[in-house]
Structure 1
C-alpha cells in the first residue's frame, strides 16, 4: 500500500530497520543448562501412587537434587533440600518428589482448589519441554496438601492454567518433609515419537524460608518456568510410541432460567454435546466439538471501567486452550487479529474443529473452523470462523509466524441490504510475525504486519508494530512502536483503538542492599505517547515508580504520573450516563499513588492501593482499593475486594462516588470436591451478581457441576435474570 502522508512513510521505513536491529541481537548456541541431565529408566517393579514413596522401584532411580536458590537471591545452592526421582512404564511417567525443610512451622496453602496461586502456596512444579524447542510444553505440580496444578506452556515460560488434563497424584506430610507422587499418562501430553531427550526442570517454593529454588541455576529476574534455562531428561530408550490416542468427552445438562428484565417465561432446556480428541500423530492433535456448552466456566470478575476503550477478559473455555498460543498470541495484547471470545458471543456454537501441534522439530500448525447459529430476531446471520496459524522455528529459540483469519456470513435470516450493512459478508486478516527470543533469555522482541480485508473495500487497513526488550538482574528496558491505521478492522480480534501511532517504553534499575529485610529496591520510568496518523499528539501517559521487595515476599510500590488526553470521540468520564465531554477537548492532570501487598505466609493476607490526583476538566479523582483474605487451611478460603472511586467534576457531573465490592467463599472439602460462592456488587453498572458453583471431580478430568447464577438491579433492587444448571461430563480414553 502506498503511504498517503509522511508519517506512514517514516513508519514503514522504521519497520525493516527495527527488524534488522532485532536480528542483530540474536544469540545462538547450545541451551545454557543442557548439561544438567536426569536419566529416566523403565520401572523394575510396580509403583503405587499414595504419596509415600516407599515402593522398592524408587530405590533404583536416579536423583535430581542440590537445587539452586532463585529467590530471594540467586547466589548459591538452596538451603531447603529437595529430591526428585522419575521412572516410566508403557502407560505413564512417574515422579516422586521429597521436600525437606530445616525451618520448622506450618505449611502454607490457600486451599485444595486446583490450579492454585503460585506465590501463596508451598508448592512444587514440573516443567516439561518434550520437543526441546525451549518455547512450548506442559506444567504439572501440587501444593503441600495435594491441590493439583496443570497447564500448557507458551512463550518460553508462561503457563495457561485454564487447560486441564488427565493424571493422578497424592501427597503426604510430616514435621520434616512433604512428599509428592504422580503418574502422568503418555496420552495426556504431546511429544515427538522416537526422541530420547526432553527439556525438563523442577521448581520449589517454600514460604517458611521465603525461598524459591530450581534444579538448574536460574537468574532471579527470570521465572523458574523459563524453558531456555531447563535441563535435560534423558530416556534410556525413546518413550513408548503413543499409538492411537482417542478421547471422547460427552456431556449432558439440564438448565432452567428466567429473564425477569424482559418479562420472559421460565425456560427449561436439556442439552447434549461433547468433545473428541484424536491424535493425528504423537505431536499433532485433532479436537472436535459438537453443540458445546461452557456454563460451568468461572464467571468474569467485574471491574470499574473508567477507560475510553473496550476492556479485555481472558478466554477460559477448554476447547480453545490447548496450543492456544498459536492462535491467541499473534500481535500484542491490544492488537490481536484473533480473539476466541468473539466466537459464540451471544449466539450458540453448532460445531467446531481444531488441528494443532507440532509438525516436526521446526514447524507448528494451528487450524480452526467454528460454525455459529443465526439469530432471526435481530437479523444476525450464521457465521463460519476459519483460522490458520503456521509457525517456524528459526535460530535457537526465535520463530516466524503466519496467520490468516476469516469471518464469513453463511446465511442471512433476512436477505436485504440493510442487514448486510450491519453484518458484512466477511472480514479477513492476514499477518506475518517475527518473534525474537535469545538463547540466554536476556533479549526478546517482536515485529509484525497485519492487513485487513472487507467487502466494502474501505476497511482494508494495515497494522504494524515492533518492540525490543532486555532484562538482566539489575537493568531492564523496553522500546516499542505501533501503527494501527484508521481503516484497519479485525472483527474476530481485539483492537480497541484505531487510527494511531504509539511509541512507548520503560527503563528500570534494581539495587540489592545488604539488609535483613529488603531484598531489592529501585526506580522504573514508563512513558507512552499516542499520535494520529498525521503525527499530531493526542494523548500521553508518563509515570515514575519506585519498588521495594522484602525478604518475606511482601511488596511495596509508589508512583507519580502525568497524563494528557485530547478526546477523539465523546466520552463520559464517570461512565454513569450523565453527560459526554466533547470531541477535541483537551485535558491534563497529575497523580500520585501506591500499592502494598502483604506477605503470603500469614493466614490473614491483604493488599492496599491508592491513587490521588487530577482528572478530566481540572477535576479530581480519588481511588482506594483493597483485597483481604483469610484461610482456614486447607479447606476454606475467604476473600473480599473493594474498589472505591470518588470523582469531583463541574456540572452536570458534580460529585460522584461508586463502589465495586466482591466477596468469595471457596470451600474445598477434598481435592476432588469444591464449592465456591462469588458475590459482586457494582454501583457503576448498577448490578449485583451471585454465582455459586459446586464441582465434584469423581474421576480424573470428569466432573459433575451444579451452577446457580442470579443478577439483580441495585436500584430499585429487583431481579434481572437467574439460571440453574446441572452438568455432567465424562472423559473416555482409548
Structure 2
C-alpha cells in the first residue's frame, strides 16, 4: 500500500498537468450594457435586447446524456459598478411552483430554483454563488474546494423574481465591490444550474456528470469579457451594531441583568481579491442555538460553528484535516469568555496563491480563572497542477501574563501555550474523478516532546457507477490541538469504502446499489481496539425519495472507563471487550409534497451484552411560501444489566418558520432533552430593512422539565447596519 499510493498520486499528477478545461467550448460573451437597467423582473430595457444569451441546458438528473427538457434562457451584462443577470425559467410542467419559504439560503433540493456559479480567477477551485428560488428568496455563498458552497457568507446584492403564467423571471444586480476578482483578467469561469421539482429535472448550461454537484467548478464554461472588468474602486464597509437586553437567572435568584452593548465590524478591500476583516467587541446573540442530540458516544461531540465572522472565507483554516482530526476549530475561541477584538486578512494574492491570517484576543474570565488568551492562525495555499493545492497551517494559542505554577489551590490549571504546524496536499484531478488529501501535523506544548505529531491520507475515485476510497490516520498520544477538534489520540485508523451504483433506464428507480465500509482502530502498537463493518443498500427514486437499508457488526475494546448511558451512574471497566450486531433503515420522502417526512430506525446489541433500539422521525408541512411547520423526535431504549437497567430517552423538537416577506422572518423552536433533563425555547424575529442590514429580536427560555421550573430567561434586541464608504 505504501508503494501504491505514491504511484497513484504520481499518475494523477501527470494527468492533471496535461489536462485542459473540460467545457472550454461553452462561452458567454460579456458585453457592456447599452442602457440603464432596473431590477424589476421585466426585461424591457435595450440593454437586455442587446445582451448575449445562452440556452440549451444539459440534463444532470435523472440522466446526463441529453439536453434538458425544461427550457432556461440566461443573459448577462455589466456597467461601471454592477454585474447584471437575467434568467427566464420556463415552466417544466403545469401547476404551482414548489418552494420551502422566502428565507435566504434555502435547501437546493427542496425548491424550484436557479443558481449561478462564478469563478473570477478561473482556477476551478474558489468562487462565488448567487441564485434565487421561484418565490424570490436569495441564495448566496462562497465557493471552495472546487464545488462546496459556504452559505454563511453575507454581502450586498439585489434581486427580484416575477412570476408569469408560463415562466418565472429572475433578475439580479451584483456590485463589483461584492465579489473578489483579479485585475486584468478577461476570462472567468461560469456555470448556471436549474432545479425543477415538478419534473424532478436538474440541469446546467455547461454539462456536469451526474455524480457531481452542479456547483462543480471543474465543469464551468467561460465568461468572456469584451474588455478588462472595471476597477471596483475603494471597497470599505463599516458594520456597527447596537444591542440592548435583559437576562434573569432564576436558580441563583440574582437581580435581572440589563445589557447595553455596541460593537463594530469592518471590511476593507486591500486589493480587488484580498480583504481585511476587523471586529471589535463582537456579539453573536442572534446566532441559532445548537441542535441538541442524545449523547451515547465515548468521545466529545462535534457542534458546527455558527458565528459568521469565523465562517466567512474561513475554509482555509477549518477544512485543514478531517472531520475528527481538525487542528483548528474556531468554537474553541471565545468559549465561556468574551472576545475583545479580532482581525482576519484573507483572499487571493494571485491566480495561484491564497492567504489567510487571523488574530483574536479574548478577555480574562474571573469565575473560572481563565486567563486572557491570544489566538493566531495563518494559512498559505499554493495551487499546483490543474486544480490541486499545497497548504500550510500555523496555529498559536498563548495565555497572556499567566504562569500555571502560580495557580491558586483548587483553581483549574491552563496551559501556557499550544502550537500546531501542518502541511497538507489536496488532490483534485481535472475531471474531478480523483480526489484526496495527505497531511502531517506537529504540536508543541510544554513538557511534551515525543509522539506529538499526526499524519493522515485518503484517496477517492468517483465515476458514474463506482466510488472507491481509502483513508488512514495516525495520531500520537501526545498530539495536542487545544484550538482544534481531535476527540481521540494515540490511535491508528484504516477506513476503506466501496460503492457500486446501477441506473435503470426505465421504471420508478433512478439508482440503487450497495456500499461496503470498514472502520478499524488500533493502538500505536497495532493492537486492535475498534472495528465496524457496515453493508448498506441505497435506493433513489426519480421523485427524489430515498431508502437505505443497512447492517453492521461492531467490536470495541474500551481503553478507559465508560458510562454507556452518559449519566454518571456507573462505568464499564477499561480494557473490557464488547461486540454486537445492528440492523437499520432510513427513509426520506419526496421533496415535492407539501407534507414531507423522514424516518430512521435501528435495532441491535449494545455494550455489556445489552440491547439498543433507536427511532427518529421528522415531519414537516409547509404553507408555501410563508409558513413551515416541523416536528423532530428521537427515542432511545437501552436495556442493560444492573446497575444501569432499562432506560428510555426522548429528544423532541417542534419548530415554526414564518417568512412574511423575503426580508422579514420569524423562527421559533422548542427542544426537550430527557437525557439532559432540560428544555429550552428559542424565538427570533429578523427584519432585513435594507441589504445586509438587520434588526433582530431574540427571546430564550431554559427550563427544568421535572418539576417544571424556569432556569433562566433572556430577551435581546440587536440592530445591525451595513455602510459602504
Q: Which TM-score band (shorter chain)?
A: over 0.9
Task: Tell me the secondary structure at the aligned position of residue 306 of structure 1.
Answer: coil
Q: Does 1:661 align with 2:652?
A: yes
2:58–2:68 contact (8 Å) kept in structure 1: yes
Aligned match for 1:153, one of 116, 121, 143: 143
Aligned match for 1:132, one of 122, 139, 160: 122
Aligned match for 1:228, one of 218, 223, 238: 218
- Aligned partner of 1:94 in structure 2 is 84
**Unpaired runs of at least 5, structure 2:** none
Cα distance in 2 for residues equivalent to 1:462 and 1:154: 27
Q: CA deviation at 1:684?
A: 1.1
Q: Does 1:255 align with 2:232?
A: no
Q: CA deviation at 1:336?
A: 0.7
- Aligned partner of 2:618 in structure 1 is 627
2:399–2:415 contact (8 Å) kept in structure 1: yes
- Aligned partner of 2:8 in structure 1 is 21
Aligned match for 1:683, one of 649, 669, 674: 674
Cα distance in 2 for residues equivalent to 1:23 and 1:725: 56
2:343–2:360 contact (8 Å) kept in structure 1: yes
- Aligned partner of 1:109 in structure 2 is 99
Task: Tell me the secondary structure at the aligned position of residue 548 of structure 2.
Answer: strand
Of 304-313 and 367-376, more deviation after overlay is shown by: 304-313
5 Å matches for 1:180-199? 180-199=170-189
- Aligned partner of 1:545 in structure 2 is 536
1:451–1:460 contact (8 Å) kept in structure 2: no
Q: CA deviation at 1:421?
A: 7.6
Q: CA deviation at 1:17?
A: 6.5
Q: CA deviation at 1:175?
A: 2.3
Cα distance in 2 for residues equivalent to 1:190 and 1:418: 51
2:461–2:467 contact (8 Å) kept in structure 1: yes
5 Å matches for 1:393-408? 393-408=383-398
Of 281-290 and 304-313, more deviation after overlay is shown by: 304-313
15 and 163 in structure 1: CA distance in 2 versus 1, 3 angstrom threshold: farther
> So what's the TM-score if we normalise by structure 1?
0.96
Q: Does 1:477 align with 2:464?
A: no
Of 606-615 and 254-263, more deviation after overlay is shown by: 254-263
Aligned match for 1:176, one of 160, 166, 171: 166
Q: CA deviation at 1:414?
A: 9.2
Q: Does 1:606 align with 2:593?
A: no
1:122–1:206 contact (8 Å) kept in structure 2: yes
- Aligned partner of 2:60 in structure 1 is 70
470 and 178 in structure 1: CA distance in 2 versus 1, 3 angstrom threshold: same
Deviations 1:55-94 (A, max 9, x none): 2210101111100000111110000000010011111100
242 and 16 in structure 1: CA distance in 2 versus 1, 3 angstrom threshold: farther
Aligned match for 2:572, one of 568, 581, 584: 581
- Aligned partner of 1:8 in structure 2 is none
Task: Tell me the secondary structure at the aligned position of residue 8 of structure 2.
Answer: helix
Cα distance in 2 for residues equivalent to 1:40 and 1:54: 19
Cα distance in 2 for residues equivalent to 1:459 and 1:114: 49
Deviations 1:201-241 (A, max 9, x none): 10000000000000011111000000011111111111111
- Aligned partner of 1:289 in structure 2 is 279
- Aligned partner of 1:329 in structure 2 is 319
- Aligned partner of 1:346 in structure 2 is 336
Cα distance in 2 for residues equivalent to 1:365 and 1:126: 25
Q: CA deviation at 1:413?
A: 9.6
Aligned match for 2:555, one of 550, 559, 564: 564
- Aligned partner of 2:526 in structure 1 is 535
- Aligned partner of 1:468 in structure 2 is 459
Cα distance in 2 for residues equivalent to 1:442 and 1:638: 40
Q: CA deviation at 1:255?
A: 1.8
> So what's the TM-score if we normalise by structure 2?
0.98
CA RMSD of aligned residues (A): 1.4
- Aligned partner of 1:617 in structure 2 is 608
Cα distance in 2 for residues equivalent to 1:262 and 1:25: 63
- Aligned partner of 1:432 in structure 2 is 423
1:381–1:413 contact (8 Å) kept in structure 2: no
Task: Tell me the secondary structure at the aligned position of residue 422 of structure 1.
Answer: coil
1:186–1:242 contact (8 Å) kept in structure 2: yes
- Aligned partner of 2:310 in structure 1 is 320
Deviations 1:249-286 (A, max 9, x none): 00000021122233332111111101010011110000
- Aligned partner of 2:510 in structure 1 is 519
1:84–1:97 contact (8 Å) kept in structure 2: yes
- Aligned partner of 2:380 in structure 1 is 390
The number of aligned residues is 721
Cα distance in 1 for residues equivalent to 2:504 and 2:408: 68
- Aligned partner of 1:121 in structure 2 is 111
**Unpaired runs of at least 5, structure 1:** 1-13
Cα distance in 2 for residues equivalent to 1:269 and 1:568: 46
2:92–2:196 contact (8 Å) kept in structure 1: no
Cα distance in 1 for residues equivalent to 2:261 and 2:482: 29
1:19–1:447 contact (8 Å) kept in structure 2: no
- Aligned partner of 2:156 in structure 1 is 166
2:493–2:519 contact (8 Å) kept in structure 1: yes
- Aligned partner of 1:702 in structure 2 is 693
Task: Tell me the secondary structure at the aligned position of residue 275 of structure 2.
Answer: strand
Q: CA deviation at 1:20?
A: 5.0
1:100–1:176 contact (8 Å) kept in structure 2: yes
Task: Tell me the secondary structure at the aligned position of residue 188 of structure 1.
Answer: coil
- Aligned partner of 1:3 in structure 2 is none
Q: CA deviation at 1:713?
A: 1.2
- Aligned partner of 1:206 in structure 2 is 196
1:192–1:282 contact (8 Å) kept in structure 2: yes
Cα distance in 2 for residues equivalent to 1:249 and 1:417: 40
Cα distance in 1 for residues equivalent to 2:108 and 2:291: 19
Aligned match for 2:586, one of 580, 595, 612: 595
